[in-house]
Structure 1
Amino acid sequence: MKLKSQLFLPVFLLLVLSSCSTKYVTPGGDVKISELADEDISKVLSNKPTAEFPVTIAVARIQAPRYSNYRYSQNENQANNGNFTMILTRDANEEKQIQEIGKLQGIKQISPFNRLLLPYNYRTIKDLRLAAAKMKAQMLLVYTFDTEFSVDAKNFGPQNVFALGYLKNKEVKVRTTSSAALFDVQTEYLYGLAEATDEVEKKSNIWKENQDVDNLRIESENKSFEKLSKEIAKMWDGIYLEYKK
């Protein structure tokens, strides 16, 4: 019996230490879409809408330069060559919500970007408009996530690191604000903006895997994007009434 206890103790300590030493890195930041617009303000103000309904819309999710999160660190799901990171794959919930947007009156098709159509080094909305034009799209929908972690009263911004052992018996909250802008592909005319925020909160136990924490991020971003899609639908109703011919 004593021998079993002696063997068990080192194994137990190893498990505890390994769980404490496992690190979770918070996701990268969002992109201020307005900062990617044409620098010539007078030109922006003089832009006119050109799209004729029903329209084809190209969709792009963009994040801060060198963006990463736990899931994307395991796979190559983004293109990162310029002033922002292009996320080239979406999870099932994003795909579902975008398909629902595509059913709105006045939309013929809504499509994601193809890696082959992207310029090598993109810096502004103009570069994305060029890629959208190659897809024969008349409008460009751009969206981004701003996801923040807080543990009890301490906030963790983008690309922060904490040990999973630090989370034991603490309140972990993940808050996501998703933002979107709809542009005219030919002129960069801004048709409208939409934004939505949601959050999830959970009392932690002994989380041993990064995925346990990352599931909260995914849930928060999914809920936020679901709200955003409804805001986009409201925005689109106004756009369609105003600009249809």
Structure 2
Amino acid sequence: MAFLRALLTAFIFVSAAPAARGAEIVDLLLVLAADVSRSIDEPKFQLQRDGYASALKDPRVLDAIMSGANRRIAICFVEWSGATAQKVIIDWTLIDGANAARKFSDALVEAPRPFADRTSISGAIDFSVEQLARAPFQSQRRTIDISGDGTHNSGRGLLSAREDALALGVTINGLVILSDRPLAWNPEHTNPPGGLAKYFQDNVIGGPGAFVAVAENFQSFGQALIGKLIAEIALAPKTPVNRLAATR
């Protein structure tokens, strides 16, 4: 089943290419894929949502967008948890200035939480790849930005999902949210051996220039996200604080 899904996604990519050539060109196609699994309680969820909403309209992020050759990017915002629990919260939207960013952020704040299930990072990658395949915009740069506070524990193999995405030319970046206290019912989920950032580096990210950014907690999520977005959008030579480059 996983092989068939990967094969179908690859077919969609190839089939969509002629249509994409006639689509509007942007500097980046970016899927923001946010973890809403059950380890993220309601206060943490709200901090994460607010962090995304604030970061997307931050003047520094807007400056990064305007620094591109086409002065615009396209964003799709996804939330995910278990193997069959992924949802597009805000569909593909052109961000070409402060007004578009503000409308996107306002819509994000108002959207309800879709679910709270297990943690399928492979499902998040597969679903995000599908969104890239149907994007109504065209770009040579296609990135999936996965934020999360725990390890993969549901769905097909994470490494297989990553390799399938990389084979399509997609870059996967990560933003890990560190937990002050391990989960009582599964401490290694949020605090695996070597740390969550190292886990994402070894198992999640990949592609040209891929990296992991670190938020020390949910309160600092927004600031970590701003640095990460600037690096992704502008391909800045300087890296965000607490960035780990991909080893692959």
- TM-score tier by shorter-chain length is 0.3 to 0.5
Which structure features the higher share of strand residues?
A: 1
Give the TM-score normalised by the residue count of structure 1: 0.39
Give the TM-score normalised by the residue count of structure 2: 0.38
Please tell me whether Structure 1 or Structure 2 has the larger radius of gyration of its CA atoms: 1
